[in-house]
Structure 1
Amino acid sequence: MTQGTVRRAGRRLSRSRELRNNGVVKNVGAARETPTGTPQEELATGERSTRNRVARSILDHGQSTVAELAGRLGLTQAAVRRHLDALVADGVVEARERRVYGARTRGRPAKVFTLTDCGRDAFDQSYDTLAMDALRWIAEREGGDEAVAAFARARIAAQSAAYRKAVEQAAPEQRTEALAKALSADGYAATARSAPTGEQLCQHHCPVAHVAEQFPQLCEAETEFFAELLGTHVQRLATIAHGDGVCTTFIPKTSTTKAPAATAPGTPKISDTTHNASASTAGRNPA
């Protein structure tokens, strides 16, 4: 889905998996033995498990000093510092000086460590539930499915300026590739590839897939926007929300493909013709 606020999605996903799953091993391959006979992969897994405990302790107890973390986790301060250094390097934790209230004592204030916004996002959040609750409220109070569809189109319109600019500046035969690059810059890992009678736009990541499972209007609005932007009918062949591995949109080669209509930045108008041509398969796998 097109969403300008997800530039760090790939980075957060990686940290999310690491923090939530203590058994993750990034380097998959033949286990290498340490001099003591312990597989290196087991040591790496243990390191990540302890690092996760350090981050979780900060989440549960708030900003913490090295001494406080060592006491809570039963680790040496040297071990805690080593894990904190790694978490800081990953952007999960940041160091601050502890605010002193009242008279300042001699010596430097103790350094405390706190989670960054990115680090906090690595733990379980309820954004999907919140979004679905909001869309249900819109459907119940503001006009049913059509109200949700109107919201989805308005959302796309508000986020479309960068995509429109990228496509308008590209040659006609390079517009799909230009759109894929713009989507990738927003964290959607999009690619464009040739097909026998056209091209396929593939999005390998969807940050709102769980919400789109319940509200396919999000996929439909995106498909409508792609059709308008590329100046031709497009067909959604598969979606992550439907259970497919990738969102795939087919763009046919036609001699009547037109350049996208000039529109004020940030306020594109999705035409009724585009809506009728594309919505029949948007958000669903026709197979």
Structure 2
Amino acid sequence: MTPADSPALGQPERRKEALVGTDTTRERILSLIASAGPITAAALADKLGLTSAAVRRHLGALIEDGLIADHDMPNAVDRGRGRPARSFVATSVGQRTLQADYSEVAREAVSYLRDRGDLTEFVKAHEARFVASIAGAVDPDAPMAERVEALSEALAEQGYATSVRPGPGGHTLQLCQGHCPVQEIAQAAPEWCESEARAFSSVLNVHVQRLSTLAQGAHVCTTTIPLTPALKEG
């Protein structure tokens, strides 16, 4: 995979304005690529109820603007042509177009808290509020797969672009976040991602493992969750 940003990286706000202001379908496609990518044009068409031709036209524009990039998926085959299918992921520029405009203020706030020695307490307080905001959506007695789906839906309501996928071997699930509304904070404070993983663990009542994060440059945050764990104690 080479999801490198295209030229003119200094203009994400211009791209965002053009994207949102002129074509909501294109914005929906970008959002779905961010949450479910790597994803093929055929899969996008199926999920959005569009023709393949319409999707490919939007994909071309998104690639030209540097918002998405090709992703190699050796096992994916274009059913119509029998050749490897092109799959797409959101670039870091594409991810930024889905974010709110508070990024610079957020980074400054994190820096200020770190300098004052208050960042750790702030992250802990946020973690407690975050757990409280999503815990009610998850039934602790439900099968793990249902808990993870419920968590994914709760996160989506808070602005995270989430999806759930089977993990390798069929013994785990992967909770994927293709968009994070607090990515700028997480980039300035890695403690934020660690806190988020602890919150997931608390709500699901199981140890989870973060494999990748948007804040560290991946195209998606991936958290692995075992399907048949022993419950945590204490």
TM-score, normalising length from structure 1?
A: 0.46
Separation (CA, whole Å) in 1 of partners of 2:155 and 2:201: 15
* 3-state SS of paired residue (2:150): helix
Q: Displacement, 1:136? A: 1.3
Tell me which structure has the larger Cα radius of gyration.
1
Q: Which of 161, 166, 169 pairs up with 1:194?
A: 166
- The structure-2 alpha-carbon separation of the partners of 1:14 and 1:162, relative to structure 1 and needing over 3 Å to count, comes to farther
Matched letter for residue 222 of structure 2? T
Q: Structure 2 unaligned runs (5+)?
A: 1-11, 27-53, 62-97
Establish whether residue 203 from structure 1 lines up as the match of residue 202 from structure 2.
no
Structure 1 equivalent of residue 16 of structure 2: 17
* 3-state SS of paired residue (2:123): helix
Structure with higher RCO (Cα < 8 A, 6+ apart)? 2
The alignment's C-alpha RMSD in Å is: 3.8
Structure 2 equivalent of residue 36 of structure 1: none
Q: Structure 1 unaligned runs (5+)?
A: 1-12, 32-40, 42-121, 262-270, 272-287
Separation (CA, whole Å) in 1 of partners of 2:13 and 2:56: 19
Q: Displacement, 1:250? A: 0.5
1:24-103 alignment, distance < 5 Å: 26=26, 29=56
- The structure-2 alpha-carbon separation of the partners of 1:166 and 1:20, relative to structure 1 and needing over 3 Å to count, comes to closer
- The structure-2 alpha-carbon separation of the partners of 1:15 and 1:179, relative to structure 1 and needing over 3 Å to count, comes to farther
Separation (CA, whole Å) in 2 of partners of 1:22 and 1:166: 34
Structure 2 equivalent of residue 133 of structure 1: 108
- The structure-2 alpha-carbon separation of the partners of 1:222 and 1:255, relative to structure 1 and needing over 3 Å to count, comes to closer
* 3-state SS of paired residue (1:233): coil
Cα deviation 1:92-112 (Å, max 9, x = unaligned) = xxxxxxxxxxxxxxxxxxxxx
Q: Displacement, 1:22? A: 9.1
Structure 1 equivalent of residue 131 of structure 2: 160
Cα pair 1:234 1:249 within 8 Å, conserved: yes
Cα deviation 1:14-60 (Å, max 9, x = unaligned) = 997244799989455569xxxxxxxxx9xxxxxxxxxxxxxxxxxxx
Q: Report % sequence identity.
A: 37
Structure 2 equivalent of residue 148 of structure 1: 119
Separation (CA, whole Å) in 2 of partners of 1:150 and 1:178: 28
* 3-state SS of paired residue (1:166): coil
TM-score, normalising length from structure 2?
A: 0.55
Cα pair 2:106 2:184 within 8 Å, conserved: no
Q: Displacement, 1:223? A: 0.6
Matched letter for residue 166 of structure 1? A
Separation (CA, whole Å) in 1 of partners of 2:21 and 2:156: 29
- The structure-2 alpha-carbon separation of the partners of 1:256 and 1:215, relative to structure 1 and needing over 3 Å to count, comes to same
Structure 2 equivalent of residue 181 of structure 1: 153
Cα pair 1:149 1:218 within 8 Å, conserved: no
- The structure-2 alpha-carbon separation of the partners of 1:14 and 1:254, relative to structure 1 and needing over 3 Å to count, comes to farther
Structure 2 equivalent of residue 171 of structure 1: 142
Cα deviation 1:158-205 (Å, max 9, x = unaligned) = 233341011136613311111011111222121222222211111111
- The structure-2 alpha-carbon separation of the partners of 1:140 and 1:180, relative to structure 1 and needing over 3 Å to count, comes to same
Cα pair 1:201 1:250 within 8 Å, conserved: yes
- The structure-2 alpha-carbon separation of the partners of 1:20 and 1:157, relative to structure 1 and needing over 3 Å to count, comes to same
